[in-house]
Every structure is written in C-alpha cells, then in structure tokens.
Chains A and B, each alone.
Chain A
Amino acid sequence: MLDAKIPAGPLDQKWSKYKSTCKLVNPANKRKLEIIVIGTGLAGASAAASLGELGYKVKAFCFQDSPRRAHSIAAQGGINAAKNYQNDGDSTYRLFYDTIKGGDYRAREANVHRLAEVSANIIDQCVAQGVPFAREYGGLLSNRSFGGTQVQRTFYAAGQTGQQLLIGAYQALERQVALGNVKMYSRHEMLEVVVIDGKARGIIARDLVSGKLERHFGHAVLLCSGGYGNVFYLSTNAMGSNVTAAWKAHKKGAYFGNPCMTQIHPTCIPVSGDHQSKLTLMSESLRNDGRIWVPKKQNDTRRPNEIAEEERDYYLERRYPAFGNLVPRDVASRAAKERCDAGYGVGSSRQAVYLDYADAIQRYGKIELGKQGLDTADAATITRLGKEVVKEKYGNLFDMYEKITGENPYEVPMRIYPAVHYTMGGLWVDYNLMTTVPGLYALGEANFSDHGANRLGASALMQGLADGYFVIPYTIGDYLADEIRTANIPTDHPAFVAAEKEVSDRINKLMGINGSQSVESFHKRLGKIMWDKCGMARNAKGLQEAIQEIRALREEFWKDVRIPGAVAEYNPELDKANRVADFMELGELMCMDALDRNESCGGHFREEFQTEEGEALRDDANYMYVSAWQYAGTNNWQLHKEPLNYEVVKPSQRSYK
C-alpha cells in the first residue's frame, strides 16, 4: 500500500503544522550534507538556490549550455497566486478548489492546498528578486484572467512570464554559485541514479562535451527534469526535453504516477509538413478575443475570407454556449479534433481550425471610435483602429505567427491545431515530494502530484516555484536530519562502479549497433504511434496495438539504429539516442496506463467512455486513484493504487454548457 504521508489534521492546517513540527538540520550539519539537483528550470533552479542559501552543499546539473535555457523559459501566459489583489473574491481555498476541479478530481487534496497556500509567497519572492511583472499605472501589480477560473489571479510579464521567473531563479542560483554553495555542471546529463542500501546516494552523469562519465555523491537527489511530452516527437517542448533522468529513477525503483495524463494544448500552429520537428504554442490568452470556427461544408477548399458568415460553424460557441471559446484546454482540443476528423478541417493538411480576429478587430475599432469621439467614420477607419488595439494586446504573438506561417493574421484568420504541451503524470511522490526511493525527490513537472488529469493555465510555473522555493527546503530537512551521521560515500564504492558500468555498457551497445536508420527517424515513428493511438482520443484496441508496435519498434531500434561519431566527444546524436531509447520504454507504459484507466477524465479521453454528447465520462467509483507503476523488468510493470480521498471537495461532473 502506498503511503502518501499526508499529515493528519484539517486540510488548511496540514502544511503549517508540518512546517512547525518537521525535523531540522542545524547549520553546522547542513554544510556537511550534499544535495544533487538535476535540471535547472523553475523547480530545479529555485530548489538549488534555496538549498544553497540554507547552507547545504549543492551540485546542480543541466544538459543545456547554461541553466538559464531550461524550458520553463518558454512559458508565456503567467503564474497564478491567491493574492486577491483585485478584491474579486479570490482566496487560498478558491485557488485550491479551481485546481482540483480543473484537474478533474484526480489530484491529491493536501498537495494542492499547500500549493495554493504558498502561491502568494512566490509572487512576493519573485518581486523581491526584481522580476518585472506587469504593473498598473499606480505602480501596483497587474492581473489577468485565465481559463478555468472566475477571478483574476494571474500575474504576468507580457508574454514572457516563464522567462522572467526563470531568469529570477537563475540569478538566485548564480548568486549561490558565486558564493560557493552551489557547484554548477552545465552540458551534463544524468544517466543513472546510484542507490546504496535502498537510498539514493548519487548519480552517474555524462559530460556532454568530453563524453566522459562522472560519479557524483549526494545525501539526496532531486529530479527537477521536467515533463516527457517529447515522447510524441512533435510537441511544444524544447528539443532537448526528455524523460531520461526520471526514467532512470523509475527503473531504479521510483514509481511512475499517472503516465497517461498528458495535456494537449488547443492553440498551436499546425504542422506544415514532414520536415517539422517542433510545434509552437500560441498563448491561451488568444482565446479571450478570437473566435474559433470551421466551414459548415465538408472539405471546403475556399479561402477563409470567401466563406460567408452563415456558412461558418463556430463550434465551441455552438456546443458550449456558457463558456464559448474559453472552455478548458482538454475540451477545446477534443472539439477541434472532432471537427477535423469529421472532414471539416482547413488548410492544406485539413488538420486545422480557424482562430479569427475579424470580429474582435471590429469590436475594438468601434470602442476606439467612441473613445476618440469620432462619430462619422468609415469601415476602413474602424478596421484600422481595431487592428491597432489588437496589435497592442497580441502584437508579439501575431508577429510570431506571421514569421512561422508567412500569413498575416490581421488579414487572414490564423490556423491552429492542438499539440502536446504538458504532462500531468510523472514520478509518484508523497507529501514530502519524495519518490518511492528514499532520498530521491521529484519536483515540478517531473512529479505527478498537483494537476490531476488536467492542468489549468498559469499553474505550471506556480507549482515549479512552490516546490523549489517553499516546499523542498522544509521536507528535505525532515529526511536529512537522520542523515547527518552518514559520511560522504566515496565514489569508488561498488555501487558507483556498477552504475557507471551499466551506463557505459549501454552507451557502447548503442554505438556498436551501427545500423542504417537515424535516431530521429525512430523518434518520429514512435511519436506517430503515440499521437495516433495514445493522443487526444484513445481506445482499448488502439492502445493494445500501440503496445505491440512500440515493442517492435524498440526491437528494431536496438538492432538498426545508426549513431555517427564517437563516445568520447561532443556527440548530440548519441545524447538523442540515449533519450529516445528511454522514450520507447515510457511510451509502452503510457499506453498500459491509458488502457488500465477505463474512464475519461481531463486530458485522458477514452472513446469508449463518453456521454451521449461526446463529453468525458469519469468513473469515480472505480478509478478515483493515482496509478503508480512499479518497474518489474522489461515489458513488465506492477500497478499500485493510491486512493484519492476527497475530504473537503465533493467531486462532480464538469460542465461547460
């Protein structure tokens, strides 16, 4: 039975009680304790910085050339916090409730409540670091609204909130580097966890420049390595984003929680051809003003401007009159897929829908007309004024769209299609953020804990920073307090030697295959299987097929992959091969998890389980649990269930009609 170690007591007092009663490590002992942090995104950078500040000896690792490049940097919209600066009824409870409901009742109450509690501290901390959040004319912080909520609680820095928050955390990290509390290892990839006497005691990392394997000891290891959306090949993740660190941990005993829970973001720029290696997200904020439609006629090849108003199907407004274009991400994505599958898609690929700003331009144009006191204006003036307003609000996004597609979105409706964006699943962790391997923690997107089956916009940044700045500094002390007597284990310990050998054997095996197909081509094929059969809509038959196909692909990979270059040098193809090999194992587990979960909830939609109107049909009686998978050898996993007990919130069917 999995023990989530949730503190006893009323929900809203669990965390404060925990903080006042958890074990502490005195400053003199902190200096002797070493902590390894993998990844330097919001979770990793904030954790490394905070732990360095506390006086621990920290080693931080990232595969990028600088910790500032972690993919948290690409988050656009904002970060939620229950500050209630807008006096609109926000509170810790409401943020907690919205997150639980948004996650379709598959998240752990205690963790989510803690997240909501510390959310306000995050904003304060970031402001103190000099993060330039958007402000009102009075000099106070500005807020915007986001999907799935009725209050304005999202703090933002134009469309670059993730960048500004990450740079803040990165600077705090670099400060600790300068002070000697953190040692930074850039261009290093973690390839194995070293477990000694059942506890995580270090890692094997590869210096990506020299190709050398290194052994690093730590009293604890923190995995802040992000999500695994790149298993789909095409996603909004960075090219380097990977599951390797988490997967190695999984194979060393850490359970994997809810692997099938992936978020498909509805507003991405569609695939333009086979060459495509990456998808680009357009901020959710675009759905505030844009209207989504497809032609009413199937296989309509006319240009969008030639299709008359009455021949357009504004399907979100039609299906969900209450929320219209602002339904949550999972709902919007599925609706787009449904239309395209039914033959109403647009663009040369027919796999896209229109996001149209023509109405917004007219609306803003008329408002502007009134503001400027012009009463006799022609249509051209209204359009011009409207375009100016839209440009001010969304100019950078429109520019990006134009750069990528070559089309002017002020004149022609944008084409959008859903794309893989975020993974709610991840390493299973308890309330302390510890995995099932003692001393091995998972923070941020790398863990499964806070978003259930669907994440709300602007909550990923919140969780990453909450884990790193405000949760781990307490919970790790509770563990390390009992480790002060553990002297540093020399890295010539047999466990280190064995782990390094395992890694080097695997690398040599990969290099020795010398087959005929590129790593990229395998990744593409894996992605296609995953997208077609474990993507936005899944069914038992498809999932079973996918498992077989992935196994066959994996076998082919290990027989026929070709990796040019050598081991002892900078070799990005080898790095990629290491990652893709892990994705192929993960893909199978994701399909197994999706097959096990005979219900539809949040981002997980099983075609067999839907209402008559095609909405997700949850099965609380049988599936109100977290699936935690234990690795049990090749192609073999054992399922453990963590039941979800809702003490405060009463689950109900989500409706956006």
Chain B
Amino acid sequence: MEHYNMNLTVEVWRQKNKDDKGGFKSYKVKDISSEMSFLEMFDVLNEQLVHNGEEPIAFDHDCREGICGACSMYINGKPHGPWAATTTCQLHMRAFKDGDTIVVEPWRAKAFPVIKDLVTDRSAFDRIIAAGGYVSVNTGNAVDGNSLPIEKEKADSAFAAAACIGCGACVAICKNSSANLFIGAKVSHLALLPQGEPERRTRVINMIEQADKEGFGACTVTGACEAVCPKEISIANIARLNKEYMNASFSSDK
C-alpha cells in the first residue's frame, strides 16, 4: 500500500455548550498521512488549535478499537464516515485524498442533545436498557452453565444481535431518529435465549415505552440503520422487536 500525505479542509460543528446555538467552522490541516486514523487526524488538528491558543474540538472517543461505541462523528453525510462496518475510530485517512473537504457533524436527534461540539448525550440508551434490557438474576442464583443447552444457531443469532456497541449511528442516520435497531438488537438477543423467556413480555413493552418517552421517532423501515451500523446488526432484529411487541401487547391481560 502506497502511503501519501494530504492537505485537507475540515468543516466542524462547534457549539460551546448545550445552550449555545453553534455553527460550522472551517479548519485547514496539512501533511496528514494516509496511515493515520480519522481520530488521529483530529488529534493533529486539536494540537494545532491548542498551539494557536484556541479551544480544541471536543469529541467522544475511548477505546479506539471499534468496540466501546464512544466515537460518534457524522462524516460527509454518513455516521462513522465512508467505510462500511467501521466505527469512526477505525476509519483511516486512506479513505480521503489530497484537497478533500470533510464535513463533520454531531449525531442529530432531540433524544441526543449536544453537550459540546461533537459530543452528545446518549444516556437515553442507558435508560432504555434500565427499562428492561436484562435478565433479572441476582448474583449467586445461577445454575450450572451447561444445564441449559441452547441450539447453536440461536446462540449465534443472539450473539450477532448482542454485538451492538450502543454508538447511536442508527439513530443518527434514521430520518425519524428512531432507536429501534438498538432496541431490536437487545430485545432479540434476550428473546432468542431461554434465559430471557420469563421477562419476555414486560421487557419489550417497557423498553418501547421508555424509548417513546425519550423522544425517539417511529421506525419506518427505511433500512438506513442497518446500512450504517458498524457492527452490521440486521434490520431483521427490528422485525423481531415488532413481533415481540405485538405478542406482548395483544396478549396483555388488562
């Protein structure tokens, strides 16, 4: 792979705090190596800003291995940028060429208010999980791990759904800011396993109720969420969520 250096224009959303109106600012970065990660390019830009006495751009990031789900940039119209199945931190500058202009925006959703610059508050996801995304088993209650065989195919599907990193890219791209891919992934994960069975009905009802309270939109099945998900969570999980919801709500006693 040939390495090359590039000069770029980066247009970034700057917003001092949640009450600030915010706006775009344009920055030039020089001699960016094609081997850098996208966030390393931001590190370089931030060092430049600190050097010039300006405030660096705030952005969420932590593991930089594509698994913690913290990084969340909306790059040139796509969450996590141009590569498929990639988080922002795993995107590398090879994806760009000399002279490019890159527009970077925060996730946009009323349920994810901006805290500063590119940092948003995604605690709504935590509250959705708290509403029911678990198996109620206190420590020490467990039976032997092998006492409950689980069909491999189902275990694999449950794992594929559980691979969600909670980054919120699905909400960011969805024209309705719906969180149903995130919720569907968790509901599917637990609905596919026998451990999730006892709370199957209450879980899905409570999680959807919480999501509605948080102000996420309704899912209109456009498929954009699946297309941008860095962990390639399938939209079939949303269908399973809908099925679980119907089963639970239609059979409700009240």
A/B touching: CB–CB < 8 A:
yes
Interface residues of A (CB under 8 A from B): 46, 49-50, 53, 64-71, 73-74, 83, 85, 121, 123-130, 132-141, 157-158, 160, 162-164, 167, 170-172, 174-175, 177-178, 184, 186, 209, 236, 238-240, 272-273, 275-278, 280-281, 400, 403-407, 469-470, 473, 518, 520-521, 562, 564-565, 569-570, 572-573
Provided the pairs A141-B145, A573-B50 are in contact, do residues A164 and B195 lie with their beta carbons within 8 angstroms? no
| Residues in B lying within 8 Å of A, measured CB to CB | 1, 16-17, 33-37, 39-40, 43-44, 46-47, 49-51, 53-56, 58, 60-70, 83, 86, 90, 92, 94, 115-116, 119, 121-123, 125-126, 129-131, 133-146, 148-152, 155-156, 158-159, 162-163, 165-166, 189-190, 193, 195-196
Chain B residues near A66: list those with CB within 8 A: 69, 122-123, 125-126, 166
Contact assessment for A167 and B162 in the assembled complex, using a CB-CB cutoff below 8 Å: yes
A127 in contact with B195 (CB, 8 Å) = yes
Kindly identify which residue among A129, A134, A276 contacts B135, using a CB–CB cutoff of 8 Å.
A129
Verify A273–B136 contact, CB threshold 8 A.
no
**Contact present for A570 and B142 (CB under 8 Å):** no
Partner of A69, one of B34, B36, B68, B195: B68
- Are A139 and B150 interface neighbours, CB within 8 A? yes
Known: A135-B155, A177-B130. A406 touches B1 (CB 8 A): yes
Instruction: State in angstroms the CA–CA spacing of A129 and B45 once bound together.
Output: 43
Chain B binding surface, main DSSP class: loop
The answer to whether A132 touches B158 (Cβ under 8 A) is yes
Nearest CB of chain B from residue A397's CB, rounded to whole Å: 11
- Contacts known (A406-B35, A518-B47); A124 close to B195, Cβ less than 8 A: no
Question: Whose C-beta in chain A lies nearest to the C-beta of B149?
Answer: A139
**A128 and B133 in contact (CB under 8 A), knowing A135-B155, A280-B65, A473-B139?**
no
Which of B83, B133, B139, B148 has most chain A Cβ within 10 Å? B139
With a 10 A CB-CB cut-off, give which of B60, B129, B136 has the most chain A CB atoms. B129
- Residues of A near B148 (CB, < 8 A) are 127
Interface pair B43/A184, CB less than 8 Å apart: no
In the complex formed, the residue of B with least CB distance to A473 is: B139
Least Cβ–Cβ distance between B2 and chain A, in angstroms: 9
Residues in B with CB closer than 8 Å to A135 are 149-150, 152, 155
Q: How far is the CA of A64 from the CA of B68 in the complex (A)?
A: 10
B53 contacts A174, C-beta separation under 8 Å: no
B193: contacting residue among A126, A130, A137, A569, CB under 8 A: A130
Contacts of A123 in B (CB 8 A): 145
**A-B interface, 7 closest residue pairs, ranked by CB to CB distance from nearest:** A139-B149, A171-B134, A406-B1, A128-B142, A124-B142, A132-B159, A127-B145
Q: Give the Cβ gap from A406 to chain B, nearest Cβ, in Å.
A: 4
The answer to whether A404 touches B92 (Cβ under 8 A) is yes
Chain B residue at minimum C-beta to C-beta distance from A280: B65
Query: Which of B68, B122, B131, B152 is the most central at the interface, judged by chain A CB atoms within 10 Å of its CB?
Result: B68
Contacts of B46 in A (CB 8 A): 520
Expressed in whole angstroms, the Cα–Cα distance for A137 and B149 within the complex equals 10
Taking a contact as CB atoms closer than 8 A, the residue among B1, B62, B190, B193 that contacts A239 in the complex is B62
Cβ of B16: which chain A residues have Cβ within 8 Å of it? 569
A133 CB contacts on chain B under 8 angstroms: 145, 155
**Quick one: which of A134, A174, A240, A400 contacts B66, CB cutoff 8 A?**
A400
Would you call B50 and A570 a contact (CB within 8 A)? no
Given A66-B123, A71-B62, A403-B83, verify A273-B189 contact (CB < 8 Å): no
Selected A-B contacts with CB under 8 Å, 30 pairs: A49-B139, A66-B166, A69-B68, A73-B68, A83-B145, A127-B145, A129-B195, A132-B189, A134-B155, A139-B155, A160-B67, A160-B163, A163-B163, A170-B129, A171-B134, A172-B137, A175-B134, A175-B136, A184-B126, A238-B64, A239-B64, A275-B43, A275-B44, A400-B65, A403-B92, A406-B35, A406-B94, A564-B50, A570-B115, A572-B56
**Further 14 A-B residue pairs, CB within 8 A, beyond A134-B159, A275-B43:** A50-B138, A53-B138, A73-B63, A121-B142, A125-B137, A125-B140, A132-B193, A139-B149, A160-B67, A163-B165, A403-B86, A520-B50, A521-B47, A570-B119
Shortest distance between the CB of B160 and any CB in chain A (Å): 9
Q: Which of B49, B67, B190 contacts A73 (CB 8 A)?
A: B67
Decide: B90 and A403 in contact? CB cutoff 8 A. yes
A520 to B33 Cα, complex, angstroms: 19
